[in-house]
Amino acid sequence: MMMTMEGVAVKLPSYSFPIIRSPARCVTRNFRPFSISASTLKEGHPAAPSAPPASLSLGHLTRPDFPILHQEVNGSRLVYLDNAATSQKPTAVIRALQNYYESYNSNVHRGIHYLSARATEEYELARKKVSNFINASDSREIVFTRNATEAINLVAYTWGLQNIKPDDEILLTVAEHHSAIVPWQLVAQKTGAVLKFVELNGDEVPDVDNLKDMLSRKTKLVVVHHVSNVLGSVLPMKDIVVCAHDVGAKVLVDACQSVPHMVVDVQNLNADFLVASSHKMCGPTGVGFLYGKSDLLSAMPPFLGGGEMISDVFLDHSTYAEPPSRFEAGTPAIGEAIGLGAAIDYLSGLGMQKIHDYEIFLAKYLYDSLSSVPNIHIYGPAPSNHVSRAALCSFNINNIHPTDLATYLDQQHGVAIRSGHHCAQPLHRHLGVSASARASLHFYNTVEDIDDFIRPSMTQSASLILSSREPC
């Protein structure tokens, strides 16, 4: 099977683009100039707070903390709008990594000398920071993994293979990331379980009412995202958990797009498992975490065998450590975990509610600005009094391939957006497209970033790409 890699950047000559044509027809469209400003937003609207003065916005206040943002790309100021793929790192995180390797680099849990004791202390402190950040009841409910993908696989190959039986049902949505689908396909193949998928409603949001109707005593697990990395939709997770528990099902929450952007309280959600990645929350790559309720983790068998996860090893058998050590075989990503702890300190210092409130404003401004582009379709719900969406928009413009658009924006305007299927091929097929462009924001983005993305770059790119077509 041929696979396509998410967000492949193709180096193309300026102003000359290979266009994927429909064999049926060629369409020529004229694009008009347009502009949008904060004044177009309704004052006092709950989903669209008025723009803070530029000098006081959270984006302007935090940008100095991110060295990578202060550069030119292809002759233009870098405008980084690919935060759903990975976030940038503040100086505090970079220094924490540097300090570990310069001052106390050592293995953890295995030495009595100063360096090892210091590394162990900082590593376990990072675990406590994660625990406090999501309000787990105990830091032992936090398992460090390489990323959220590994965290989901850990649950699949331990709890899943231990508890899922033939004809049991695993309920997901068509909008899940590949990382939340493929492990459960493998479990279903091994166990004879059945995967069921909730489709979208008319607002292009997973149909929560349909999800509730699909729950039954056969449902053993619900795997669902908190925030969609394509649709920008935010699901009522607490309500979903209550309904799943009513039929005896467990719930695994993919929180990769929520933990970095809003207050997430696992005790309030009452989720059984929750996963997230460091690199999306201003921390280093190579580390993520699994939250699991203590009783579930204690009953799960090991995921990988080796050092650290054991209690005693004999020639004919071994006994295993208690969680979380049971699931952290081998030398962990020590520096990366410490860097994640520094990222949590940074985010907590800003305040997650403050970050969320600012991003709600950015989300509305981005959606309204993009909506003014002719012949555009933005996927997911429109923001309203009752619907708030994440600060990201996936979209397509008629007759323009998203990779052509992303390439032009990068090479001619220094604007970094994502193009591809965003590791959500089933969702794109459901939407009737093979790919989309995506602009995604974080708290260090500003209104000016959105303006530089929308005008004049989007107008120029659409006009130039279409004008490069050969006549029919």
Query: Which are the catalytic amino acids?
Result: 423
Nearest C-alpha neighbor of 206 from the set 233, 182, 184: 233
Cα(218)–Cα(209) distance, rounded to whole angstroms? Answer: 18
How crowded is the C-beta side of 408, counted as CA atoms within 13 Å?
26
> Does residue 168 contact residue 193 with C-beta atoms inside 8 Å?
yes
Neighbour-count burial of 442, counting CB atoms closer than 10 A to its CB (0-12 exposed, 13-18 middle, 19+ buried) = buried
DSSP string, 409-440: HHHHH-EE-EEE-TT-HHHHHHHT-S-EEEEE
Q: Which helix (H) or strand (E) holds 221?
A: strand 219-225
By three-state DSSP, how is residue 244 classified?
Answer: helix
234: phi then psi, degrees, rounded to nearest 5: -115, 120
Cα(303)–Cα(207) distance, rounded to whole angstroms? Answer: 33
Which tokens belong to 342?
A: 């520094």
DSSP string, 380-417: SPPP-SS----SEEEEEETTB-HHHHHHHHHHHH-EE-
Cα(382)–Cα(266) distance, rounded to whole angstroms? Answer: 28
DSSP string, 50-110: PPPPGGGSHHHHHGGG-GGGSSEETTEE-EE-BTTT-----HHHHHHHHHHHHH----SSS
> Does residue 31 contact residue 374 with C-beta atoms inside 8 Å?
yes
Neighbour-count burial of 406, counting CB atoms closer than 10 A to its CB (0-12 exposed, 13-18 middle, 19+ buried) = buried
Which tokens belong to 367?
A: 């959606």
Cα(283)–Cα(137) distance, rounded to whole angstroms? Answer: 23
Give helix then strand counts, H and E, for the chain: 16, 17
CA 147 to chain centre: 11
> Does residue 356 contact residue 364 with C-beta atoms inside 8 Å?
no
Cα(462)–Cα(30) distance, rounded to whole angstroms? Answer: 9
